[in-house]
Amino acid sequence: MDADILRLILFVSGVGLILGIYFWDRHKKINARVHAIRKAQLETADSPGAATERVDPRWSETPESEGSGEPLVGPGAVAAAHDEALEADLEQLGRVVHEPYLEAEPKRRQESFSFTAEDPDEVRDELLRDGLPCLILQINVVASNGTFSGEDILRVAGDVELEHGDLNIFHRYDTTGRRPRVIFSMASMLEPGVFPLDKMDTFRTPGLVLFGQLPGPKDGLAAFADMLFTAERLAALLEGELQDETHSVLSKQTIEHIRGRILEHRRQLQLALSKR
């Protein structure tokens, strides 16, 4: 459901609830007043001389005394006043409901603290040199049966949309801007970590290392989700297992811990940028 429609429904429901409480309170007060008047009438009827001199201090059509400065009203006038007040309340409610919906001032969106493809490399380098904290994300895909072959790596790299590029390793690019920006990369677990395209038929490695740096072209949580999904597909296609940066099994608890580190990094970035 659209957020604007949801806010309008909640607003109208709130107005209806307030008016319901208001009218219920008015009805309760009127009933209490009528009950008091009837009680006064009964007490007057039971008192001596009531048959010949019955005076209602609130409902009489004539003043109790000529010198009284407060006019007394009858039941017809009270009912008419109540009807007028009710009509005024309904008219006001109609104006509120039919007024054009004006969206409240949009809240300032929370900074994702990631550099987009619109930002030149000089801007990112300058901010990092100024002391903005940097976070490295890493996931290892380790061969279950010894090693991965170069030919299998080339095949699955295309399946998961990793492109061979700078530094002779594979990269996942963000292509939403004017020029591609690296979200994360994949290197060999063996030093120096490169994939020699001209020797991939004989190349073998015990594992792959996916790594990325924050801040980057995408929000940290989105970049990590992309990296984790890619690592899971690589492990399934190559018959490998996922490990963290310490070469321990990548458990659900470890994944949540990494997400927590990303959120903490976002907080540190916010603090650092607020001081600029």
Q: CB-side exposure of 175: number of CA atoms within 13 Å?
A: 6
Average pLDDT over residues 60-78: 50
Distances (CA, A) of 238 to 159, 224, 229: 12, 21, 14
Q: What is the largest CA-CA distance in the chain?
A: 124
Q: What is the pLDDT of residues 101-120, one digit of tens each?
A: 444 444 333 344 444 434 45
Give per-residue pLDDT as tens, 202-252. Answer: 999 999 999 999 988 999 999 999 999 999 999 999 999 999 999 999 999
Reference 159, options 235, 240, 233; nearest CA is 233
Q: Is residue 150 a contact partner of residue 195, using CB atoms and an 8 Å limit?
A: yes
Q: What is residue 4's predicted lDDT score, i.e. its pLDDT?
A: 73
Bridge partners (DSSP) listed for residue 171: 163, 185
Q: Kindly report the pTM of this predicted structure.
A: 0.56
CA distance 7 to 29: 33
Which pLDDT tens digit goes with each residue over 128-183? 555 677 899 999 999 998 999 999 999 999 999 999 999 999 999 998 888 899 99
| Residue bearing the bigger pLDDT, 167 or 270 | 167
Q: Give 90's pLDDT tier (boundaries 50, 70, 90).
A: low
Count the Cβ atoms, other than its own, within 10 Å of residue 227. Answer: 22
Q: Residue 108: what pLDDT?
A: 37
Q: What share of the chain is helix, strand, coil (3-state, %, to 5)?
A: 50, 15, 35
Phi/psi region, residue 230 (left: phi>0; alpha: psi -120 to 50; beta: rest), is: alpha
What confidence tier does 98 reach under pLDDT thresholds 50, 70, 90?
low
pLDDT tens by residue, 16-48: 788 778 777 777 777 777 677 767 666 665 555
* Predicted confidence (pLDDT) per residue in 49-61, tens digit: 544 444 444 444 4
